[in-house]
Structure 1
Amino acid sequence: MTDTLTDTASGTGPEPGYPIDRSPHCPFSPPAGLRELQATAPLRKVRLWDDSDAWLVTRYEELRALAGDPRISSDILHPGYPQVSQGSLERARRQTSFIVMDDPTHARLRRLVTAPFTVRRIQAMRPAIQQLVDELIDTMLAGPCPADLVREFALPLPSLVICRLLGVPYADHAFFQRNSAALLNRNSAARATEAQRILMDYLDGLVGEKLARPADDLLSVLATGQVGPGLLERRDLAAIAMLLLVAGHETTANMIALGTLALLRHPEQLAALRATDDPARVAAAVEELLRHLTIVQTGLRRVALEDIDLGGQLIRAGEAVILAIDAANHDAAVFAEPDTLDLGRDARHHVAFGYGVHQCLGQQLARVELQVVYSTLYRRIPTLRLAADPAALPYKHDSIVYGVHELPVAW
């Protein structure tokens, strides 16, 4: 490591609580308290909701080192794992997904769904995604003005895409969007647990339908090829489907809305993006927005399997670790003037999708969706503007995934 991490276990006072609240005046940047820890105590124990503690890693270099270290476990059922909320362990005991498992189980289950998310397969979806974007814009322009960009555009687009890919009826979108949002809420354990049960029951029933009447979709392929004796149980496939469905629309929807808000608040950057027809520049803009916004705001949760020396500080076996990717993406040692949104920056090495073997499976799909949106929406509606006081917007401070609940816009 470039710097020695010393005297960070006790710091200069009591352990700070985590997550740290964002400043209402800086909605696009990591919390000021997180940045302060990055500058003064980049490996520091923090206090969690249940009064347990965890090592918080805020620098880019150390975060990547730990994220790629096989001595760090992603197993949510492992003793010492830093749970996000009161109900997360209970829900994990009932049903969990491969993103919170370790190899070899993680690798085996992930391989089942890797093929549809390759770069080649996702690029082949670009024309269909472009058509959906254009149709949604046409519908929004034909409707009332102002409009809520979240409801009319940001949420429907990735929902439509992931529904078509999986074979989930889009007619059920209000149902699964409502329960997905509840599942990601950190402040209502009972509602999140109920949302998990509801979604699992729904998807388990859908898997049964695919077994009986397979169609041309991913769930049908998995149901007919992977469910059976010695393979997956129906409930296991339903858990995989829930992961893909929830992650496949919630994250991208929040990036569309929050990215649009950030661009409207930075008109010079928006003008540069609107003026270009260079796919490489659009792709670079997407990477910078992913870095700048980093919408996963509760960190990547891990637990040490062995003693690990990180820059002179010992993380002991069994101790909890949280990798603060939002802070790492604003590390000035890696990204010059990190709080500045610069669409011309080379931000490809950001960690918004994580790092290592658990890196986001759907990252290529998210990239293509965002590239199509950011290259189309502002050119189709060049007069797009915010139709609300930015300070009064309802931000998702209570969710694992950051964003806005609604975004009133006009044109």
Structure 2
Amino acid sequence: MTTTEFPEFPMPRAAGCPYDPPPALHALLRADPITRVRLWDGSTPWLVTRYADQRALLADPRMSSDPGQPGYPSPLAVDRRASTISFILMDDPEHARLRRMVMAPFTVRRVETMRPAVQRIVDDLTDALLAGPTPVDLVPAFALPVPSLVICMLLGVPYADHDFFQRQSQTIINRDTTPEQRGEAMGALVGYLDGLVGDKLASPSDDLLSGLAERVRAGELTRPEAAQMGMLLLIAGHETTANMIALGTLALLENPDQLALLRAAADPVVVAGAVEELLRYLNITHTGRRRTALTDIEYAGQIIRAGEGVIFPNDVANRDPGAFAGDPDRLDLRRDSRRHIAFGYGVHQCLGQPLARLELQVVYGTLYRRIPTLRLAVDRARIPFKHDGSVYGVYELPVTWSTT
């Protein structure tokens, strides 16, 4: 095949199927699980679609997450030398060194101690919904504030500044943002976090940024590194979960039999299982995880050469019938979906996944029970989906409910 004959990536979703991976990805999953695709810049990295293949290669230390490596399949027009957001796009041992500095607050045990506080946040916001007018856009009224309040509490970031950091983070993750705009937004956010690190150096408290400031004081981190890590946690801590809340609500409203199961669930284990199925089914990180081969790797009859990029679209891997039985293209809250790779796999899998799970368990276990008549206020065709970003979701979700 010539370069122009390779299919373009990312691929468009089918009209009227906003929850499903693109049909072309499904076709590759069935017919050609390791193949070439063409990116915006003309490069032709490998695309790996099957669940088992993704897990194997994402766990392979010969795969690099460093965007500075030759051949890295960048999803955006960015300066690769300046695009590393803290440890998330680094390789070991530096990745492991920096990640260990922020792991403690995200352990399952530590996160579980936050459940009462998260429940209060969700209850308060639900109270505000019930006391206010309808219809209401659930995104700014509920989906964004829940994770923003939680991550601000964890990091020690003033929630009063949420409009500022949400605006900057949305600019950073939007695929249509120019390199100059993205650089300005990242600079503004890093500068803001740098100022907060300085405040924590002068007056520490019991929060994650104060812990990073202490690392700066001890000489283990530079202040810019601490600010970069704070930016990563701030963006990842609210953008992804906010989109899961809104998109998950929409998917449930369109699957009323599944919503009824969740609304009636008194067992927290059932709610937790529903969260895993929604994470598998929706896959809000929909542009694929990116790697570069550091050495030649022979896999599944192909040779991935050193310096060649590889993309792992987890949305289609989580629909692989070889991994998830019983029609994986159907939302089934009774399915055992715990082995999904919505949070990635290997040493780079999402650090904050215990917190995201807890927030979603509280939201999905509370909102629909307290507002049992929740429904869309507009036709689904009028809801704008985020096809232009690296995090998938909806820009607006107008909802209403019976008030009598």
TM-score of Structure 1 vs Structure 2, range by shorter chain: over 0.9
Cα distance in 1, alignment partners of residues 322 and 340 from structure 2: 13
Q: Does the 8 Å contact 1:30/1:326 carry over to 2?
A: yes
Letter of the structure 2 residue corresponding to residue 41 of structure 1: D
Does 2:33 correspond to 1:42? yes
Per-residue deviation at 1:91?
A: 3.9
Cα distance in 2, alignment partners of residues 386 and 213 from structure 1: 46
Q: Deviations over 1:42-91 (max 9, x none)?
A: 11110001111110001001100000001111111111111110025264
Per-residue deviation at 1:338?
A: 1.1
Cα distance in 2, alignment partners of residues 155 and 88 from structure 1: 29
Cα distance in 2, alignment partners of residues 348 and 315 from structure 1: 30
Q: Structure 1 residue aligned with 2:202, among 189, 199, 212?
A: 212
Q: Deviations over 1:198-238 (max 9, x none)?
A: 101111111111111111211012202x1047421111000
Paired residue for 1:4? none
Cα distance in 2, alignment partners of residues 90 and 22 from structure 1: 32
Q: Structure 1 residue aligned with 2:362, among 369, 372, 375?
A: 372
Paired residue for 1:184? 173
Cα distance in 2, alignment partners of residues 126 and 101 from structure 1: 31
Cα distance in 1, alignment partners of residues 143 and 181 from structure 2: 24
Does 2:109 correspond to 1:109? no
SS at match of 1:314: strand
Paired residue for 1:348? 338
Q: Does the 8 Å contact 1:91/1:196 carry over to 2?
A: no
Cα distance in 1, alignment partners of residues 295 and 166 from structure 2: 39
Does 2:52 correspond to 1:61? yes
Range 393-402 or range 34-43, more displaced? 34-43
Paired residue for 1:52? 43
Q: Does the 8 Å contact 1:11/1:44 carry over to 2?
A: no
Cα distance in 2, alignment partners of residues 395 and 185 from structure 1: 13
SS at match of 1:344: coil
Q: Structure 1 residue aligned with 2:222, among 233, 240, 244?
A: 233
SS at match of 1:168: coil
Does 2:235 correspond to 1:246? yes
Does 2:80 correspond to 1:89? yes
Does 2:112 correspond to 1:162? no
SS at match of 2:348: coil
Per-residue deviation at 1:316?
A: 0.7
Does 2:391 correspond to 1:398? no
Paired residue for 1:311? 300
Cα distance in 2, alignment partners of residues 194 and 12 from structure 1: 34
The percent identity for this pair of structures is 62
Runs of 4+ in 1 over 3 A off after TM superposition: 10-13
Q: Deviations over 1:167-188 (max 9, x none)?
A: 0000000110111111100111
Paired residue for 1:135? 124
Per-residue deviation at 1:296?
A: 0.4
Q: Does the 8 Å contact 1:24/1:391 carry over to 2?
A: no
Q: Which runs of 5+ in 1 are unaligned?
A: 1-9
SS at match of 1:322: strand
Paired residue for 1:383? 373
Matches within 5 A, 1:263-278: 263-278=252-267
Q: Does the 8 Å contact 2:3/2:38 carry over to 1?
A: no
Paired residue for 2:246? 257
Structure 1 residues 26, 227: closer, same or farther in 2, change over 3 A? Answer: same
Letter of the structure 2 residue corresponding to residue 254 of structure 1: N
Paired residue for 1:3? none
Q: Does the 8 Å contact 1:184/1:399 carry over to 2?
A: yes
Structure 1 residues 361, 13: closer, same or farther in 2, change over 3 A? Answer: same
Q: Does the 8 Å contact 1:303/1:318 carry over to 2?
A: yes
Cα distance in 2, alignment partners of residues 72 and 52 from structure 1: 18
SS at match of 2:95: helix
Cα distance in 2, alignment partners of residues 96 and 137 from structure 1: 34
SS at match of 1:44: strand
Per-residue deviation at 1:96?
A: 2.8
Paired residue for 2:160? 171
